[in-house]
Structure 1
Amino acid sequence: MSLRSRISIKIIISVLFTWQIALAQDQPSANFSYKNGMVVCAYPDAAKAGLEILKKGGNAVDAAITVQFALAVTHPQAGNIGGGGFMVYRPAKGSPTTLDFREMAPAKATADMYLDHAGNVIPDMSLYTHQASGVPGSVDGMVQAHKRFGKLKWATLVQPAINLAFKGFKMTKRLASDINRTTSEFKKLNPGKNYLIKKEGYKEGDILIQEDLGKTLAAIRDRGRAGFYEGPVADLIVAEMQAGKGLFTKADLKGYHSVWRKPVTGKYKNYNIITMPPPSSGGIALLQLLRSVEKYPLHHFGFNSDSTVQLITEAERRVYADRSKYLGDPDFYKVPVDSLLNHEYIDGRMQTFNWDAATPSSSIQPGAFVGYESDQTTHYSIVDKDGNAVSITTTLNDTFGSKIFVAGAGFLLNNEMDDFSSKPGVPNMYGLIGGKANSIQPGKRMLSSMTPTIVEKNGKLFMVVGTPGGSTIITSVFQTVLNVLEFDMDMQQAVSAKRFHHQWLPDDVEIETGALSDDVKNKLTKKGYKLSGRGAIGRVDAILKTETGYEGGADPRGDDTAIGW
């Protein structure tokens, strides 16, 4: 073959690869770069509030605290003070750390609390009742983060959320629609309360005012942790529990504590991955996935090609099988972290992968170790002018959590107890299977898929990333990271790109509309893969450090906003 022919072929391949990526985007690349800091989160007003804190001289943790409370006002679908979450923090100088402010099971919780006399799971009891709520951790988490890393005064950080609650903010079309769609459930589950209920329904541009929530936030501003876990707000929470036969008490509230944990870390080629340890399953799963595909030429395969989709699906199948058995709260269960992240173990799991045909999930079981003894969330990424980086994923579990408000306090309760294994082998609302490691015990934290992550390149900050999405969180973060590292996308392209998801059981590859070409679908189907279409997968919010500054990626699947200065 002549030199001219070889050059022509390379040009054609390059054009086709670029065209393939372009087809996958919902919106064009933004390519805006900011030198002094950036906030990417789920609602415009919350992003603006966080950016103002950075401009006032606050650091990334300060801005994160402001965003957390602002999202509790502006993004009630998942933003919260009645839920919990995880923070990964990478200081510009010093060692990374993580904060676990995940909810806890109350003292009265029992392993069989959601089972009837016949031992069967009672439908919806772990979802839409007062018994569905774990003890909230978000307020304590923000207090602990401020004590250790905060720079500005606490009251300064909480005040923007109070202003948004009392003065109101303009509703987006999506927020109005989400609330209107849930109105009947709010009415059913909240007799005598009128939170987020409007007779004629909400519309885009309406001003939403939440006075009771503002009063609760003011108590948190004035008294810190005690403003929520003790005093009048705690009285309202306990009264709500008693009214609905809920389980947690003043002792549960007062006894809640966030936990600082060592990150789990790993390598992918020349990148260092810093992510969340258990009780999040996300970090270990992400590192397993990256190792599983590392030796394959993904860049050569191409974005969402049949080979790329097949490889990623098979890796996900094995990792989610491991998740079902080995992941849980490390304070109650010895999670075999080193064994799960052992390179020989991960490589061995992929040896049964066959390019010619799908591996049935029925033939894949959790791996074995020598000596072993037995959608709705939200994410925000923030970087400040000094290079401190925060990745936080926080949740109520389902959209609007349990959909039950605390009377007089104006905030929603979570339904995180569903993330425990109500019964071994019975799937939760996301179809995830669990066992003994994630059984219900008093004071225990339920397993999560949240995967807040920070990536370094050559020892320097490179990417801050995370997403909501229940069981799809892990795969969404995984694919977004690969979009940058393997498929040469900028941050916005990587976030916007269409995604797919597989989680071992059910044995089904879920695909966003337009994610795969008909040719790719046909090739995968012939190999035995069961494909099904679905709506949006994840809502990734991420930041990329480039040579010129910080580049944001705000997911077009939501009201997500990236702003910097």
Structure 2
Amino acid sequence: MINRKFATYNKLFAAVLFLCLTAGCVKGQLGQNVSGQYRNGMVVCAYPDASQAGLDVLKKGGNAVDAAVAVQFALAVTHPQAGNIGGGGFMVYRSASGKTNTLDFREKAPAQASTNMYLDSAGNVIPNMSLYTHFAAGVPGSVDGMVAAHKKYGKLKWADLLQPAINLALNGFKMTARIANDINRAKAKFKVLNPGKNYLVKDVDWKEGDIMVQEDLGHTLELIRDKGRDGFYSGKTADLIVAEMNTGKGIMTKADLQNYHSVWRAPITGNYKGYKIITMPPPSSGGIILMQLLKIAERYPLKRWGFNKDSTVQVMVEAERRAYADRSKYLGDPDFYKVPKDSLLNSQYLLKRMANFNWNAATPSASIQPGIFMGYESDQTTHFSIVDREGNAVAITTTLNDTFGSHVFVGGAGFLLNNEMDDFSSKPGVPNMYGLLGGKANSIQPNKRMLSAMTPTIIEKNGDLYMVVGTPGGATIITSVFQTILNVIEFDKSIQGAVSAKRFHHQWMPDEVGAEADALDSLTIDKLTKKGYKFTKRGSIGRVDGIRKTKWGYYEGGADPRGDDTKLGW
């Protein structure tokens, strides 16, 4: 009798559990189950107010692209370190039916740019000229990119998507400790580069909980709300940008602004152990390098070796060493340079690249050069991942380049200019601010897009949406996305666990492995050091934001604890 009662209770418990998993037990919000997973959509981005703006759009019936527009402009207000209207970026899109596309809204060199513009009379790179001057800014693409994305895929009215950002700018938003500290640290540079302006700075330091109001930025956003693309690339805002250029001997003109247009491009696609990878093509280097890394890693039993164990780390580092060497020679703006995509992703080519890998010793980077194949002719960014109720997915990475970009504000308009011109190769063999080397493929030319490491990525499993992922981090972006994908697929981590996990990075030159504190245990470091690997301590690597779709059809988010990143769903 007692056994029958227990059997009945077990059946009832199983039935309740099944209903919770398949229909969603309510915990505060409709569609959320007990483990923090959501049925109807999710937004993961760098600042809580921006995540809320995106979620509100989803709840009003907007799709993932609508939410992305709201998030992009909200981040321009609440996350000025990298959120922007004065920068650019990339979008990877996958519809609920499986159709894919990518949008390149990367900045471009002004028409007056030239190959040697950052060199002195002796041919040496002039320090900081490509970083903290009016001369450092590329033509912004973010506004045009959002307009183009909304025109092609959006559902809700454009003005309604801009209003949350306008409200945050004009009414103010509550600052976290992190944004207050970041602005306080940049205060001296802001004052030097912006005489007579007081954007983001005040007499006393900011502190957590302070309310920041940005009236000029709010009015600029109102122009974009009311006039769309023309509210930025023409009229008052364009005049203010050109006037700002004139104060600092910059070279961006009104014609540069009016001639800027984002570009739809076919994505880089490939497979990793049955998972379909959909990622960004050039002028991002991210997609090709990520696929190289995954194709190389696929041949090794990483799951058996384990997360961040010596054999796992050794294979990943050696793959990164070779892929970043290829990046230095072969990747650039495809509208100016024929990128050998198929050759770089050829399985036999990648097999040959690893032919000199030696388990007993590190391969010196000095001995690794970009690969050779037949037919060839001679840190601050932000990412957000969004999925809507129907299953449309967007991965967007956008940037000013350095934290706060060039640190130069457009007077009267209230926004920061990027310093993306540093992402070009100012001189072959001379590293940029992230230590990355480049050559002819990424040389400066008028109207050319500079190479990027941004790697917004969407993954399918069995033809269905599986993961949306990306990160800021300069040169570390690609390796952070690479590790996060492996953490989920190979090491069975939840998306939050994969995002939170400690990371390491290698980029060919300099020949060292940068690792976060406690990323690798002492035994792993000792084994690899004896083989000739050099380890250096690094601060935070990346701020990954991801979404994974569970086998039950729910969305679970991973918001990087290294920042103010926030995951919200319903």
- Could you say what the CA RMSD is over the residues aligned between the two structures, in angstroms? 0.7
Q: Which runs of structure 2 are paired with 1:164-313 in the superposition (5 Å)?
A: 164-313=168-317
Asked whether 1:91 is paired with 2:95, we answer: yes
State the secondary structure of the residue aligned to 1:157: helix
> Is the 1:31–1:490 Cα contact (8 Å) retained in structure 2?
no
Q: Distance in 1 between matches of 2:567 and 2:394?
A: 15
| Per-residue CA distance 1:185-223 (angstroms, 9 max, x = gap) | 000100000001111110000000000000000000000
Q: Which runs of structure 2 are paired with 1:256-405 in the superposition (5 Å)?
A: 256-405=260-409
Alignment-derived partner of residue 418 in structure 2: 414
Q: Distance in 1 between matches of 2:408 and 2:336?
A: 29
Q: Quote the offset at 1:278 in angstroms.
A: 0.1
Asked whether 1:562 is paired with 2:567, we answer: yes
Alignment-derived partner of residue 155 in structure 2: 151
Asked whether 1:506 is paired with 2:535, we answer: no
| Per-residue CA distance 1:458-499 (angstroms, 9 max, x = gap) | 111000000000000000000000000000000000000000
> Is the 2:109–2:139 Cα contact (8 Å) retained in structure 1?
yes
Q: Distance in 1 between matches of 2:504 and 2:299?
A: 21
Alignment-derived partner of residue 469 in structure 2: 465
Structure 2 residue aligned with 1:42, among 40, 46, 52? 46
Q: Quote the offset at 1:375 in angstroms.
A: 1.1
Q: Which amino acid in structure 2 is aligned with residue 281 of structure 1?
A: S
Q: Distance in 1 between matches of 2:339 and 2:460?
A: 26
Asked whether 1:483 is paired with 2:481, we answer: no
> Is the 1:174–1:558 Cα contact (8 Å) retained in structure 2?
yes
In structure 2, the gaps of 5 or more residues are 1-33
Q: Distance in 1 between matches of 2:202 and 2:346?
A: 54
Q: Distance in 1 between matches of 2:65 and 2:280?
A: 17
Q: Which amino acid in structure 1 is aligned with residue 382 of structure 2?
A: T
Q: Distance in 1 between matches of 2:348 and 2:36?
A: 42
Q: Quote the offset at 1:410 in angstroms.
A: 0.1
State the secondary structure of the residue aligned to 1:454: strand
Q: Distance in 2 between matches of 1:221 and 1:90?
A: 26
State the secondary structure of the residue aligned to 1:266: strand
Structure 1 residue aligned with 2:122, among 118, 121, 145? 118
Asked whether 1:550 is paired with 2:555, we answer: yes
Structure 2 residue aligned with 1:444, among 441, 444, 448? 448
State the secondary structure of the residue aligned to 2:401: coil
Q: Distance in 2 between matches of 1:347 and 1:530?
A: 25
Asked whether 1:431 is paired with 2:435, we answer: yes
> Is the 1:468–1:539 Cα contact (8 Å) retained in structure 2?
yes
| Per-residue CA distance 1:208-246 (angstroms, 9 max, x = gap) | 000000000000000000000000010000000011000
Q: Distance in 1 between matches of 2:204 and 2:141?
A: 35
Asked whether 1:531 is paired with 2:509, we answer: no
State the secondary structure of the residue aligned to 2:455: coil
Q: Which amino acid in structure 2 is aligned with residue 322 of structure 1?
A: D
TM-score, structure 1 as length reference = 0.94
Q: Quote the offset at 1:547 in angstroms.
A: 2.4
Q: Quote the offset at 1:75 in angstroms.
A: 0.1
> Is the 1:78–1:378 Cα contact (8 Å) retained in structure 2?
yes
Alignment-derived partner of residue 459 in structure 2: 455
Alignment-derived partner of residue 24 in structure 1: none
Q: Quote the offset at 1:67 in angstroms.
A: 0.2
> Is the 2:98–2:464 Cα contact (8 Å) retained in structure 1?
no
Q: Quote the offset at 1:31 in angstroms.
A: 4.4
Asked whether 1:107 is paired with 2:111, we answer: yes
TM-score, structure 2 as length reference = 0.94
% identical equivalent positions = 75
Q: Distance in 2 between matches of 1:147 and 1:433?
A: 37
Q: Distance in 1 between matches of 2:476 and 2:36?
A: 28
Q: Distance in 1 between matches of 2:227 and 2:379?
A: 32
State the secondary structure of the residue aligned to 1:50: helix
Alignment-derived partner of residue 57 in structure 1: 61
Q: Which amino acid in structure 2 is aligned with residue 498 of structure 1?
A: K
Deviating 4+ runs (over 6 angstroms): none
Q: Quote the offset at 1:94 in angstroms.
A: 4.8
Q: Distance in 1 between matches of 2:262 and 2:204?
A: 41
Q: Distance in 2 between matches of 1:547 and 1:432?
A: 39
Q: Specify whether residues 524 and 31 from structure 1 end up closer, same or farther in structure 2 by C-alpha distance, changes over 3 A only.
A: farther
State the secondary structure of the residue aligned to 1:234: helix
Q: Which amino acid in structure 2 is aligned with residue 554 of structure 1?
A: A
Structure 2 residue aligned with 1:127, among 120, 123, 131? 131
> Is the 2:98–2:463 Cα contact (8 Å) retained in structure 1?
no
> Is the 1:236–1:407 Cα contact (8 Å) retained in structure 2?
yes
State the secondary structure of the residue aligned to 1:248: coil
Q: Distance in 1 between matches of 2:463 and 2:551?
A: 15
Alignment-derived partner of residue 12 in structure 1: none
State the secondary structure of the residue aligned to 1:387: coil
Aligned length: 536
Q: Quote the offset at 1:95 in angstroms.
A: 1.8
Q: Which amino acid in structure 1 is aligned with residue 130 of structure 2?
A: S
Structure 1 residue aligned with 2:520, among 516, 519, 539? 516
Q: Distance in 1 between matches of 2:53 and 2:150?
A: 17
Q: Distance in 1 between matches of 2:467 and 2:349?
A: 28
> Is the 2:401–2:420 Cα contact (8 Å) retained in structure 1?
yes
> Is the 1:31–1:492 Cα contact (8 Å) retained in structure 2?
no
Q: Which amino acid in structure 2 is aligned with residue 556 of structure 1?
A: P
Q: Quote the offset at 1:348 in angstroms.
A: 1.1
Q: Distance in 2 between matches of 1:344 and 1:374?
A: 22
Q: Distance in 2 between matches of 1:146 and 1:355?
A: 50
| Per-residue CA distance 1:257-312 (angstroms, 9 max, x = gap) | 00000001000011000000000000000000000110100001100001111110
Q: Distance in 1 between matches of 2:93 and 2:100?
A: 6
